[in-house]
Amino acid sequence: MHKSVAVVGAGPAGLYLAEVLAKRLAGAQVDVIERLPTPFGLVRGGVAPDHQGTKNIVRQFERTLQRDNVRFHGNVEVGRDVGYEELRQAYDAVVFATGALQDRRLGIPGEALPGVYGSGAFVGWYNGLPDFRDLAPELPGGAVAIIGNGNVALDLARILAKSEAELASSDLCAHARAVLFSARLTDIYLIGRRGPLEATFTPESLAELGALGRAVPLVDSTRIPAAAEGLEPKEQKIKEQNLELLRGFAANRPELKPLRIHLLFQAAPVGVLGTERVEGLRLEHTRLEGGRAEPTGETFELPVSTVITAIGYRSAAIPGLPFDERRGRVANAGGRVEPGVYATGWCRRGPQGVIPANRTDALGVAELVLEDLAERPAGNRPGRPALERLLAERGAEPVSFADWQAINGAESGRAEAGRPREKFTRVEEMLALLGRERTAARTG
């Protein structure tokens, strides 16, 4: 018998790994199991809607899912439609690539007030992830605070700041456009506990803030170091580019455009203010000691009506799968979870790195899988037939790759002129579409 592998998660990490195993395991069956009807993970639900070039990676992933020995099983959730132990018994190897979707919390007073949102939820909302379709964020106008100093924080600021015309060629969802384009924002605060040298955003993302039509980026020049020193050459080049961009922002005049983006460094949130909803944010100035942000005791307040946190994510625990609660990720040793079970991507190492980093991670874990399978007897697990039997017995509604192509075509077909797609944002909508497609196919 040929060996069978289940890859749980159809994002970049899972699909990079599936491609390697499908190529190198002669005759193997590789089943990609995804809880949503749609593949591609955060390429679809996390990449900014105005970064369409980044999303072109899906063409490579489509080729993987169309390989003869790869099968896509969408709308199948481990823990709901099939159990962890059932997968272990059915497949020679099971690899989890389920990402990290849960927002980390600040742990400060007032965080539970209406008007505070995690970046994962907020980005998922405007990108059409069904999990967050009903988030209904309030943007009453005035000022928004975004807490975080990475590319996600910059993405949030840019999407909030762009005009309707600037987002006309994006795949920003209709329900989000209605909210964002009616918001009357005057100020966006980007807040980091440490300084520019410790920020993790890239020069490319930072530069985009300087090219916005209706927003001007501003920064206090006294917070910008004179130079980046003592770093590896590649890292030093990146930091120097960031510093040069920030110096340009420091020279901007706030009255140039109707919306101001303030980059605040060395400021740590200590409390969200308000009674019924967000009315402000209390921050504490910090000092840097050995790259760490230490409190100074000096506080100040910002009159903001919305707070978005972009401080990292956790993976969701799956019943039966070993989980490291403290780190918020699958418990593993270098990618191995327990015999025959592996983890890759953000659920293995935490939410670090961009899409290419997930490729590197997936290639490394694929080598572990290949090494372990080479030491075992020829495949003697039922694999795909067992999965399909369990799903049929439980009345699950798995979505095939052909089904996804029907969803994809419908999304493209209903988009406004100039937009690549108008996403379906509810699972029920997608399944209803597929029901109509199947009925039409049967009736000719």
Domain span at 26: 4-101+315-399
Distance CA 117, CA 138 (A): 10
**429: annotated binding-site residue?**
no
pLDDT computed for residue 219 by the predictor: 98
95/114 same-domain check: no
375 band by pLDDT with thresholds 50, 70 and 90 = confident
Q: List the one residue out of 9, 34, 38 whose CA is nearest residue 127.
A: 38
Distance CA 85, CA 431 (A): 28
247/141 same-domain check: yes
Half-sphere CA count of 306, side-chain side, radius 13 A: 26
More confident call, 193 vs 440: 193
**150: annotated binding-site residue?**
yes
**197: annotated binding-site residue?**
no
pLDDT computed for residue 206 by the predictor: 98
**75: annotated binding-site residue?**
no
**Does residue 356 have a pLDDT over 90?**
no
**Does residue 442 have a pLDDT over 70?**
no
95/106 same-domain check: no
Residue pair 7/35 in contact by the 8 Å Cβ criterion: no
**272: annotated binding-site residue?**
no
**Bridge partners (DSSP) listed for residue 352:** none
Distance CA 247, CA 228 (A): 13
Residue 381 in domain:
yes
Distance CA 436, CA 284 (A): 56
352 band by pLDDT with thresholds 50, 70 and 90 = confident
Q: Give the mean model confidence (pLDDT) for residues 43-60.
A: 95
124/141 same-domain check: yes
pLDDT computed for residue 296 by the predictor: 97
292/194 same-domain check: yes
Distance CA 193, CA 183 (A): 27
How many CB atoms are located within 10 Å of the residue 62 CB? Answer: 16
- Record the pTM: 0.94
User: How large a percentage of the chain has pLDDT more than 70?
Assistant: 98
266/325 same-domain check: no
What are the C-alpha distances in Å from 190 to residues 146, 150, 168, 186, 323? Answer: 5, 10, 25, 14, 33
Q: List the one residue out of 84, 298, 297, 262 whose CA is nearest residue 190.
A: 262
221 band by pLDDT with thresholds 50, 70 and 90 = very high
238/306 same-domain check: yes
36/154 same-domain check: no
Q: What total number of domains does the chain contain?
A: 2
**Does residue 7 have a pLDDT over 80?**
yes
**Does residue 379 have a pLDDT over 70?**
no
Distance CA 200, CA 238 (A): 10
> Which pair of tokens denotes residue 378?
């020829």
For the stretch 120-161, pLDDT in tens is: 999 999 999 999 999 999 999 899 999 999 999 999 999 999
Q: pLDDT averaged over the chain?
A: 95
Residue pair 14/97 in contact by the 8 Å Cβ criterion: yes
Question: For residue 168, what is the domain's CATH number?
Answer: 3.50.50.60
Distance CA 233, CA 215 (A): 33
Question: For residue 339, what is the domain's CATH number?
Answer: 3.40.50.720
Identity of the amino acid at 140: P
How many CB atoms are located within 10 Å of the residue 441 CB? Answer: 9
**149: annotated binding-site residue?**
yes
**Does residue 425 have a pLDDT over 80?**
yes
Distance CA 187, CA 258 (A): 9
Residue 412 in domain:
no
313, 332, 366: which is the final residue of a domain?
A: 313
**408: annotated binding-site residue?**
no
How do 323-324 and 4-8 pair as beta strands? unpaired
313, 332, 358: which is the final residue of a domain?
A: 313
Chain-centroid distance of CA 42 in Å reads 4
129/243 same-domain check: yes
For the stretch 71-105, pLDDT in tens is: 999 999 999 999 999 999 999 999 999 999 999 99
More confident call, 437 vs 200: 200
Question: Could you give the residue ranges of the DSSP H alpha helices within 66-221?
Answer: 84-90, 119-126, 151-161, 174-180, 203-209
**380: annotated binding-site residue?**
no
Q: Give the mean model confidence (pLDDT) for residues 326-340.
A: 96
**337: annotated binding-site residue?**
no
> Which pair of tokens denotes residue 81?
């439609």
The torsion region of residue 168 among left (phi > 0), alpha (psi -120 to 50) and beta comes to alpha
Q: List the one residue out of 71, 18, 9 whose CA is nearest residue 45.
A: 9
**355: annotated binding-site residue?**
yes
